[in-house]
Structure 1
Amino acid sequence: MRPSIKILEEDMKEKVVLEAMEILEEIGFFVENTEAVEILRNAGINVDSETQRALIPADLVKKSLKTAPQSISLYNRDGDFVTVLGGDNICFDPGSAALNVLDQETNEIRTAVTKDFVDFTKVVDQLEHIQAQSTAITCSDVPEKISDRYRLLIALIFSKKPIVTGTFVKESFEVMKDMLVAVRGSEEELRRKPLAIFDACPSPPLKWSDLTCQSIIDCAKYGIPSEFVSMPMTGATAPVTILGSIVQHAAETLAGLVITQIVSPGAPVIWGGSPAAFDMRKGTMYLASVDTILMDLGYVEIGKYLNLPTHAYLGMSDAKILDTQAGFETGMGSLLAGIKGVNMISGAGMMNFESTQSIQKVVIDNEIAGMTYKFVKGITQRDEPIAKNLLKEFDKKTHLLSHDHTMKWFREELYLPSTVVDRSTNEEWITKGRKSIGERANETVTKLLSKYPGVSLDNDIIEDLTRIMKYENVDFKTKLDL
């Protein structure tokens, strides 16, 4: 039996969706993109020329929900199936777009550079329980206007895993799409076997910006999955009530969904988000608190109620170092996300209010992900009767350590972590140097970097990627030590 958790009653889910539709029909949402305005008007939607406010009838929302796919399959760089986003399947990926990193040697937060993301990508590529990459780190040592596409270049070259990415400027989409096509072989193959997901974040309250509109329009045209990441902040850019923020999240996300389905009925979309509770004392938004977790699980239930693939930022911490807070926030969020069946659980490695990535933490979070996978499998009956026949043998034996039954099932029944997790005796722990989990994770990072098998992408494709990326006089092959 799979464990489960319920946040909202069925009638409350219906109420949230109906109120979100009423908001879109009576209040509307702001749309800043001229192509999106034209698309909406051609579909018969009233868009005010002065206020840029669009009013969407509920019937069109319902029609769009019928054409949006209930699941999305993801494939790796080689075209092999990785996972399906839908139902209660779960998949972990690192948190995206960190401007800073927790330095592996000094444990101080600093600005990120290319080597940080290359090393991070190499490590994540070898982590068993992190099934997808993300463009996790924004490198400060390249021009800002190409930093979005540069992240994708690194992820495509140094990893085989599917990628969660996104644009910072409108002009980057065409370049990034062409890079994905270069790897997949054709636009048709990219549509058939998605390799990347593009995040698109509406601006609360109730606004889709020029950039995010363009992203979801372009993705819909090429069959690239869009992951809607609505970010209501309680009491600041959204109602202070958790349920009120969930309603706003639903309205913003439904608006994006309608645009994609007008552009291309059946365009793949993901009901995602990254809401935050606002700390009235500190003036900060916290993303790993119990309040935020409730919002995440609540809006995910709405997505499941609508039969859409789901996403949430639930595998991260607001801590600044690898301390107890980093562990309990990440562990609590990841496990609850797994039990809820969030399809894409984002945030591994991420700290400090979604601004910092840690290569050590992503290794630790891989273990949390592994434990989550184990937990959501639940308990399985292996024998009939369950234990009676085995226990009869205790009159002959004092233990079952070497019993055939133990040998057959212990790897299936028991989660066996890596050495990142301490399960030694106190004496052994002292003998090995009294190492913290951060120190053990650091050792694992060093081992994984030394074990990285090297770039396996065909040289001709690398040439294509660097040609597509061409920008002024930047030599990307030299910069990436290729």
Structure 2
Amino acid sequence: MTRPIRTGGRAARHAARAAPLPDASRPVRPGLTGGRYKPLTEADVTRIHETALTALEEIGLSGAPPSGVASMTAAGAVQSDDGRLRFPRALVEDMLACAARDITLHARDPAFDLDLSGARVHFGTAGAAVSVVDAVTGDYRDSTLADLHEAARLADALDNIHFLQRPMVARDMTDDQTLDLNTLHACLTGTRKHVGTSFCTAATVPKCLDYLYAVAGGEDAFRARPFVLNSNCFVVPPMRFATESCEVMEACIRGGLPVLLLSAGQAGATAPATLAGAVMQAVAECLAGVVYVNSIAPGHPAIFGTWPFVSDLRTGAMSGGSGEQAVLTAACAQMGRFYGLPGGAAAGMADAKLPDMQAGWEQGMSDVMAGLAGLNMVYEAAGMHGSLMGFCPESLILGDDMIGAALRCVRGVEVTDETLALEAMRAVCLEGPGHYLGTESTLSVMQSEYVYPTLGCRISPKEWQEAGRPDLIAKARVRRAEIMAGPNIAAFAPELERSLRARFDLLV
């Protein structure tokens, strides 16, 4: 048997391998299916579910605004003499039955729409950091609107950052309305990807809706493809509605925004110290959120945002980079899949103050586990330091490489006749050189099977020395400068920008 002759020349073959692959053939991409990792047994999941229903029925939640009480009691919740709302099992089950599933989170550019069906996994930013971290000096300073806009532009340019939820607070804004409106503008003029944000009060929402409708080309156009989500901390754990946030949520639902039902108890402080208890409380609170949303607008798109955090019980400080946090997030992903609801939780947080070795293990460990567990929306996946107090642009850029590797883990191993490579083995062993280097079977999968870091260093120590010992942070700073010096693809058309500035006080 003769070996097939490769045609076209080395240069042509190199060009073919260097050409961008179709999305379906890329080694990693948004929406890869996870779910192989299950920290909870089926019996565990059932016990958590049943216990959460008991907590809702017997303990209930306090603090709902009158409008929320009216909606939920009309649906079947019971307000007891102690003022707490209690939720009969049948009510929770009815609201779960009409809750939105398999939703799509839209982006300004449809190419970046997020399919949240099944166990499809997406990584992105989030948080409310109050500081920006200088990766070289180690200094923390107040975050600004310009920093937020830069973060949006970086996220737009990074392939493995699939969405932008506001990662920091613009602390140079003077009032709530200015903050909420300009947060939207800074994000939307920096990225074409899906955007999540919060609003300070219900009073700021109408003007922000007017802005969004203007960007979309009309209210109907926005409602058809809402490209912004309201991230809403609708509860103050344990088991208490956050009154003002609930009013914001109601305004956003009426305005057509999807919502993230975010329960962020801290194990050992505002949630039970046991991991199972922390998961159970978050599930109970988010189930109450499902009742709330669907009592107002059945089928309204909402993400089941079980976000319990971990405490270092020696000090009470948050420990977002811990192994306990990683497994807690994975367990929450499993509970979201049990209900068939789109799920979101936090991973990739670093307690490390800088992008160093500690940050690497903290971020990588929890991102991989969240992806393997099939979490639809992995929030805070890169860039966050100091237990969410600081955002680091260089860390976000380096996190793009890290998430690429995490996505490759999520993708797993495809076993087919072709990938088992028996014929390639036959050719190499019986007719060839005894190795696979340079063979067509190897070259043909260089792009589709393997992920290569953009900045990560894989050269030998000798080559590294000869290259001047390139430093990851320095390389990230160069990449940051290149992105920011390049064209802003996400910028609005000049006529839209002018019309928006004529109507709204925009400061970006």
Normalised to the residue count of structure 2, the TM-score between the two structures is 0.87
Q: 1:215 aligns with which of 244, 248, 251?
A: 248
Q: 2:108 aligns with which of 50, 74, 77?
A: 77
Deviation at 1:280, TM superposition (A): 2.5
- What is the distance in 1 between the residues matched to 2:302 and 2:57? 22
Question: Which secondary structure state, in structure 2, belongs to the residue aligned with residue 341 of structure 1?
Answer: coil
Deviations 1:104-141 (A, max 9, x none): 55331111122222222111110001011121221121
Q: 2:400 aligns with which of 355, 362, 366?
A: 366
For 1:209-288, list aligned pairs within 5 A: 209-288=242-321
- What is the distance in 2 between the residues matched to 1:290 and 1:385? 34
For residue 331 of structure 2, what is the aligned residue in structure 1?
Answer: 298
For 1:117-156, list aligned pairs within 5 A: 117-145=148-176, 146-156=178-188
Deviation at 1:35, TM superposition (A): 1.6
Are 2:50 and 1:18 aligned? yes
Determine if contact 1:98/1:136 at 8 Å carries over to the other structure: yes
Deviation at 1:426, TM superposition (A): 1.1
Question: Which secondary structure state, in structure 2, belongs to the residue aligned with residue 94 of structure 1?
Answer: coil
- What is the distance in 2 between the residues matched to 1:35 and 1:251? 21
Are 2:460 and 1:417 aligned? no
Are 2:72 and 1:40 aligned? yes
Determine if contact 1:95/1:346 at 8 Å carries over to the other structure: yes
Q: 1:317 aligns with which of 328, 346, 350?
A: 350
Determine if contact 2:321/2:362 at 8 Å carries over to the other structure: yes
For residue 491 of structure 2, what is the aligned residue in structure 1?
Answer: 456
For 1:57-136, list aligned pairs within 5 A: 57-80=88-111, 82-136=113-167
One-letter amino acid of the counterpart of residue 375, structure 1: C
Determine if contact 1:165/1:198 at 8 Å carries over to the other structure: yes
One-letter amino acid of the counterpart of residue 431, structure 1: E
Q: 2:361 aligns with which of 328, 337, 340?
A: 328
Deviation at 1:179, TM superposition (A): 2.4
Deviation at 1:103, TM superposition (A): 2.0
Deviation at 1:460, TM superposition (A): 3.2
One-letter amino acid of the counterpart of residue 304, structure 2: W
For residue 376 of structure 1, what is the aligned residue in structure 2?
Answer: 410
Deviation at 1:414, TM superposition (A): 1.3
Are 2:439 and 1:403 aligned? yes
Moved more, 422-431 or 457-466: 457-466
One-letter amino acid of the counterpart of residue 307, structure 1: G
Deviation at 1:188, TM superposition (A): 2.9
Question: Which secondary structure state, in structure 2, belongs to the residue aligned with residue 445 of structure 1?
Answer: helix
Determine if contact 1:3/1:378 at 8 Å carries over to the other structure: no
CA 1:9–1:468 in structure 2 vs 1: closer, same or farther (change >3 Å)? farther
CA 1:115–1:106 in structure 2 vs 1: closer, same or farther (change >3 Å)? farther
Question: Which secondary structure state, in structure 2, belongs to the residue aligned with residue 91 of structure 1?
Answer: strand
- What is the distance in 2 between the residues matched to 1:154 and 1:397? 57
Normalised to the residue count of structure 1, the TM-score between the two structures is 0.92
For residue 470 of structure 2, what is the aligned residue in structure 1?
Answer: 435
Q: 2:216 aligns with which of 177, 180, 184?
A: 184
In structure 2, the gaps of 5 or more residues are 1-32
- Identity rate of aligned residues, in percent? 27
Determine if contact 2:282/2:307 at 8 Å carries over to the other structure: no
**Considering only aligned residues, what root-mean-square deviation do their CA atoms show, in Å?**
2.1
Determine if contact 1:76/1:160 at 8 Å carries over to the other structure: yes
Deviations 1:365-404 (A, max 9, x none): 1111111222221112454583332233334335443332
Q: How many residues align?
A: 471
Deviation at 1:176, TM superposition (A): 2.5
Are 2:381 and 1:345 aligned? no
Determine if contact 2:367/2:403 at 8 Å carries over to the other structure: yes
Determine if contact 2:108/2:192 at 8 Å carries over to the other structure: yes
Deviations 1:185-211 (A, max 9, x none): 233332332312211111100111122
- What is the distance in 1 between the residues matched to 2:328 and 2:466? 45
In structure 1, the gaps of 5 or more residues are 471-475
For residue 192 of structure 2, what is the aligned residue in structure 1?
Answer: 160
For residue 4 of structure 1, what is the aligned residue in structure 2?
Answer: 36
- What is the distance in 2 between the residues matched to 1:455 and 1:197? 18
For residue 473 of structure 1, what is the aligned residue in structure 2?
Answer: none
